[in-house]
Structure 1
Amino acid sequence: MRTTSFRIPRRPRLLTAMLAASALALTACGGAGAGADGGSDRPVVLTTFTVLQDIAQNVAGEHLTVESITKAGAEIHGYEPTPGDIKNAAKADLILDNGLNLEAWFAKFVQGLDAKHVEVSAGVEPIDIAADAYAGKPNPHAWMSPANVQKYADNMANAFAELDPQNADAYRANAAAYKTELQKVQDELTTGLAKLPRNHRALVTCEGAFSYLTRDAGLTEKYIWPVNAEQQATPQQITSAIEFVRANRVPAVFCESTVSHAPMEQVAAASGAELAGVLYVDSLSEADGPVPTYLDLIRHDTETILAGLAGNSPGAK
């Protein structure tokens, strides 16, 4: 599945009008707090994608019903909401989105809905995209740093406490426990990287989705393209990556699960680096998949990066 970041699809006017009308009608008749099963009296929190859903569920515990608009494996950047999404959103008491220009479709989605919405990336120091058509706009992938997700957890706890004051202490306690787990991942990454030669502390990926992780872990970042796009990588982009890997003798390179690995295979073949594994970014897997929770995702990615840069990846010779 190919991710297309920041692409705002042209929605037919008829569909836009239908979604807006559905939102207004369903807000009037839908019962907030009905929940997915139609019977729970817990407040309903709706997130824009599965990563946020899982983080929010850890903070919410048993006190809230947390759902995601998009499903596991869905493409988030250019998602097109359906009338069914609007129907589900009409039940929500609170909607959480990432912000940082990730959900280009979100403004139209919430038109006519009564639910409050909160950007969970508030307080994160943004990193601007460095090149191409989106240069100067914030990189939206702030959740790829476990240090940033600690801010997400606090923002969620505060939003949940406002929504449901009687359980405010539980939300803040859940957030504190979750932040402890996130800090363990951050510490394991930085400790592992400190054992490597300095020139090996570089993360070379297909997309520039790891800017926050590299900043917070002290890695040098290099990618083939800054934002996923429909076109293939250019020869200049591939050559630049090859030259970086050669100059720094970087032992391993990586690619995300949602894009073709062919460009990075060229980089690896030409530079002598190992293509050391798949990294996950935008979506969790199904429950029986490799990354069913955010902690699974970020642990998988950090462990894969450390193993590759240390020469211990499964494919290393």
Structure 2
Amino acid sequence: MLPNVARRVLLGTTLGAGLAGTLPARAQAPKRVVATFTVLADMAQNVAGEAVLVESLTRPGAEIHDYEPTPLDVVRARAADLVLWNGLGLERWFERFFSRAGATRQAVLTEGITPIGIGEGPYLNQPNPHAWMSPTLALVYVENIRKALAALDPANAATFAANAERYAAQIRAVDARLRETLARVPADRRVLATCEGAFSYLTRDYGLREAYLWPINAEDEGTPRQVRAMIDTVRRARVPAIFCESTVNDRPMRQVAREAGARYGGALYVDSLTAEDGPAPTYLKLLEANAEIILRGLTGAAR
């Protein structure tokens, strides 16, 4: 497994500074790729390997939906040879940001994915952007990354293809483990109740039912009406444990747990990786950490 994105970027920057003037021109100026958030940066680095420097605009633990780009972000994007973003309305700030960043090449990594529609609220029928939560659809991301990198740096196209094939095999293996893990949740407990409706693709893949406080992270989060509706849902479905995402305030969901008589099962990881010493420092570990947290919450057993 490749090391953490932040460490790779720092290492690449340090080496580039220390060896300037001693390496061939190509080694002095490797292609630079910027992704809008950490999950995409990790995917891209796995495909790029050592041939390209990859970094994330957002730091580990950051909320991506309403991220406020900094002037430094604009500078980094302008200096990049390629910007990778999710699309499907996830980065609502991105169009404004990109107009400031200049004419940098870009790639939308959800191209070719048929999205699930948001089922309620002000974003009704708009795409649910969290397609990376499906390992099957993550393979589409990997292929889109491979194509974008090959177009950017044709000399390394064979390297990108080999890396993408190897990474896709790892994703398929994780998918198989998740399927086995989540199949252990009994039929009467197969409700995944979370703060944001970010798990539509995961629940579809693994035969779970979905419930949430709000459909997508926005300005209206944890309103009294949302809390009351979730309390009713949890009581009616006899949901044993409920969860929230690591990048949002879990207070409303903890209130639901108290009033509905359910356990608070912990934080799940969606919009951001953790730091290297956390439970989800890579995309693959994010998927596995979530599966274990869900299993433990809904059954009371980790393995």
1:295 matches 2:284: yes
Taking the TM superposition and a 5 Å limit, the aligned residue runs for 1:117-196 are 117-196=106-185
Give, in whole Å, the separation in 1 of the partners of 2:252 and 2:97.
35
- The alpha carbon displacement at 1:151 in A equals 0.9
Give, in whole Å, the separation in 2 of the partners of 1:133 and 1:312.
38
1:104 to 92, 95, 98: 92
Taking the TM superposition and a 5 Å limit, the aligned residue runs for 1:166-245 are 166-231=155-220, 233-245=222-234
User: Residue 55 of structure 2 aligns to a residue in which SS?
Assistant: strand
Identity %: 51
Letter of the 1:165 partner, please give it: P
**2:65–2:217 contact (8 Å) kept in structure 1:** no
Cα separation, partners in 2 of 1:229 and 1:88, compared to 1, 3 Å: closer
**2:61–2:246 contact (8 Å) kept in structure 1:** no
2:62 to 74, 98, 113: 74
User: Residue 30 of structure 2 aligns to a residue in which SS?
Assistant: coil
Letter of the 1:80 partner, please give it: E
Give, in whole Å, the separation in 2 of the partners of 1:238 and 1:106.
30
- The alpha carbon displacement at 1:78 in A equals 2.1
1:279 to 244, 250, 268: 268
2:9 — aligned with what? none
Letter of the 1:222 partner, please give it: A
- The alpha carbon displacement at 1:164 in A equals 1.5
2:38 — aligned with what? 50
Letter of the 1:135 partner, please give it: L
User: Residue 144 of structure 2 aligns to a residue in which SS?
Assistant: helix
User: Residue 275 of structure 1 aligns to a residue in which SS?
Assistant: strand
TM value normalised by structure 2: 0.85
Which structure: greater helix fraction? Answer: 2
Cα separation, partners in 2 of 1:88 and 1:128, compared to 1, 3 Å: same
User: Residue 84 of structure 2 aligns to a residue in which SS?
Assistant: strand
Give, in whole Å, the separation in 2 of the partners of 1:243 and 1:291.
32
Give, in whole Å, the separation in 1 of the partners of 2:223 and 2:230.
11
Choose 46-55 or 105-114, whichever is displaced more: 105-114
Q: Which runs of 4+ in 1 moved over 6 A?
A: none
User: Residue 79 of structure 2 aligns to a residue in which SS?
Assistant: coil
- The alpha carbon displacement at 1:230 in A equals 4.0
- The alpha carbon displacement at 1:45 in A equals 1.0
- The alpha carbon displacement at 1:155 in A equals 0.6
1:114 — aligned with what? 103
Cα separation, partners in 2 of 1:228 and 1:152, compared to 1, 3 Å: same
2:252 to 263, 288, 291: 263
Gaps of 5+ in 2: 1-11, 21-27
TM value normalised by structure 1: 0.82
2:29 to 8, 24, 41: 41
Choose 205-214 or 76-85, whichever is displaced more: 76-85
Cα separation, partners in 2 of 1:261 and 1:88, compared to 1, 3 Å: closer
Choose 168-177 or 80-89, whichever is displaced more: 80-89
Letter of the 1:264 partner, please give it: M
- The alpha carbon displacement at 1:305 in A equals 0.8
1:247 to 236, 239, 255: 236
- The alpha carbon displacement at 1:313 in A equals 5.8
- The alpha carbon displacement at 1:118 in A equals 0.4
**1:277–1:313 contact (8 Å) kept in structure 2:** no
Gaps of 5+ in 1: 1-34
- The alpha carbon displacement at 1:110 in A equals 2.6
Cα separation, partners in 2 of 1:86 and 1:271, compared to 1, 3 Å: closer
**2:34–2:56 contact (8 Å) kept in structure 1:** yes
Superposed CA deviations along residues 125-172 of structure 1, whole A, max 9, x for unmatched, are 211111111112111111222222111111101111111222212212
Give, in whole Å, the separation in 2 of the partners of 1:235 and 1:77.
22
User: Residue 245 of structure 1 aligns to a residue in which SS?
Assistant: helix
**2:196–2:215 contact (8 Å) kept in structure 1:** yes
Give, in whole Å, the separation in 2 of the partners of 1:141 and 1:233.
20
Superposed CA deviations along residues 270-305 of structure 1, whole A, max 9, x for unmatched, are 333221121111112222233221122221111111
Letter of the 1:299 partner, please give it: E
Give, in whole Å, the separation in 2 of the partners of 1:247 and 1:189.
27
